[in-house]
Chain A
Amino acid sequence: MAFDVNEIRTEFPILNRQVHNNPLVYLDNAATTQKPQVVIDAIVDYYTNYNSNVHRGAHQLADEATRKFEAARDSVANFINASSRCEVIWSAGTTESINIVANGIAKLLKAGDEVLVTEMEHHANLVTWQQACLASGATLVVAPISDKGELDLEAYYALLNTHTRLAAIPHASNALGSVNPIQAMTARIKSISSDALVMIDGAQGIAHCDVDVQAIGCDFYAFSSHKFYGPTGIGVLWGKEQLLADWPVWQTGGEMIAEVSYQSAKWNTLPYRLEAGTPNIADVIGFGAAVEWFQQLDKQAVLAHELSVLNCATQMAESFDGLEIIGSAQHKVPVLSFVMQQGHPADIGFILDRQGVAIRTGHHCAEPLMNRLNIPGTARASFAIYNTVNEVERLFEALEKAKKMLA
């Protein structure tokens, strides 16, 4: 299947807008991606035509809503190759997904246990485990990265032992772009510490990497819809069925129970036991539309396109005087983080914004990583399916101007 970026662009209405009298160049996709019209339509259609609560209504609208809601679960299960649809738990996003696991593990950990994270974590995949360790007396162990921003695998494996109860790994770093070899790592972790659970923070992986949870072999994989062309406020915790079936329940209330008396309750079966209360129905349906939209595309062609845009940006960055790329791992998602001799990242962000170029600046919710790299933060351009080489050129023209103004 051929991939035509101009055709794709027509599906994203926001890409037509102007910012400060310039056509928008949206390069903040690692923060959140834009939404195609089909996703916007699916949400509007739900509220316009069949808004209703799911699972419990005895009427036509409730039937329609429930069918669409559960069809979205099937789409996601199919997309990540889950072995069963009940392994797909709806959450508010990656952060909540990780919290469901961290909250449970805090109850299972004891002093002497270890949780292994990496130096490149987003706060969502760090503070959660840090707090679970503080609550349980377990030890948080942090695996080092190289100056290029790659995990030091030898050092990583040396930190594993029979006390390792959980290893949390980002599929890809939001600040540096580095992609971790999660499949090989999972195999190695399981061979050294057969009791260790492997949790993947897939926030940056889902849109830009192959995700086959059975092939990866991990126990949990978390991601957000909004970084994958779907709406905000919805995400997924995927977990192995036998684990989730006994996982400490997260929130209690309606929908997640099978039987209730005044003094006790029995939990519902998966996936509902981990989904208390009325879910975010509209956004589940919107996310289902996003996944179905994406699945009609040739994913390999999409990823190849994104990498060609990244490569072009990297080449231009390398020949840009006074710019230093932060994060030059061999395998990267389309993220270009950098600092400039002339200008703090925030200054660069202001001046780019005035030219219609949207990037992110700062520590990218990875403060310990910025301290480790000894920088206050970076400017980050992150690309997605609809970005073009022409937009990369606009980025560097805008940077040229920033450099001149800040000289």
Chain B
Amino acid sequence: MALPSTADILEDLEFFDDWEERYKYIIDLGQEMPKMDPQFHTQERLVKGCQSNVWINVTPIDGKLQFDVDSDAIIVRGLLALVMAAYNDNTPQQILDFDIQQYFEALDLEQHISPTRGNGLRAIVSKIRDFASAARL
């Protein structure tokens, strides 16, 4: 995935001062992120939120975890791109060491991974960490 790194994202988002530009950026990320092949939209890969659905597929390659993620909502896809910047193609140990809460706080988007939002983002993060824990064993 030719997506920006966490450093790029932090820098880009810092640059915008109104919410519209920030969300536009997130929407753009969502549009740029490669779409998952719809045949992977299966029940086992589904993480159900009450507002939108999220799918995740994991492939271990050379000791790293590669993720494919998708959502039916574009803003959630954009937020997933932020999550991917942090986790995709990392080793299980790197994934477990990454402080996602602090990252979202730095992006000023922490409300999106709070347990009160039913968008499945938090569930995806715990799923990714579960994959990483299992792969480390």
Q: Which of B19, B20, B23, B51 contacts A349 (CB 8 A)?
A: B51
Query: Is B58's CB within 8 Å of the partner chain A?
Result: no
A 318-376 contacts with B by CB, 8 A? 343-347, 349-351, 354, 361-363, 376
Classify chain A: how many residues form its interface, as a range: 10 to 19
A362:B24 contact, CB within 8 angstroms: no
Question: In the complex, A344→B27 CA distance in Å?
Answer: 12
Number of interface residues of B (CB under 8 A): 17
Whole-angstrom distance between the alpha carbons of A361 and B24 in the complex? 20
With contacts A349-B51, A377-B51, A406-B27 known, is A354 near B19, CB below 8 A?
yes
Residues A351 and B23 in contact in the complex (CB < 8 Å), given A346-B75, A346-B76: yes
On whether A362 and B74 interact (CB within 8 A), knowing A351-B23, A376-B53, A405-B24, the answer reads no
Q: Mark A223-247, 1 if CB is under 8 A from B, else 0.
A: 0000000000000000000000000
Q: Would you call A17 an interface residue if the criterion is a C-beta within 8 Å of the partner chain's C-beta atoms? A: no
**Is the C-beta of A20 less than 8 angstroms from some C-beta in chain B?**
yes
Given A344-B73, A344-B76, A376-B72, list of 16 further CB < 8 A pairs?
A: A343-B74, A344-B74, A345-B52, A346-B49, A346-B72, A346-B73, A346-B76, A351-B75, A361-B51, A362-B51, A376-B52, A377-B51, A377-B52, A401-B20, A405-B23, A405-B27
| Pairs A–B under 8 Å by Cβ, sample size 24 | A344-B52, A344-B73, A345-B51, A345-B52, A346-B49, A346-B72, A346-B73, A347-B73, A347-B74, A347-B75, A349-B51, A350-B23, A354-B23, A361-B51, A362-B51, A362-B52, A362-B118, A363-B50, A376-B52, A376-B53, A377-B52, A405-B23, A405-B24, A406-B27
Query: Closest residue of chain B to A349, judged by CB?
Result: B51
Bound CA span A377–B53, Å: 11
Q: Determine how close the nearest CB of chain B comes to the CB of A341; give it in whole angstroms.
A: 13
B52 CB contacts on chain A under 8 angstroms:
344-346, 362, 376-377
Indicate which residue in B51, B74, B76 contacts A406 across the interface (CB closer than 8 Å): B74
B91 contacts A by Cβ under 8 Å = no
CA–CA, A168 to B24, complex, Å? 46
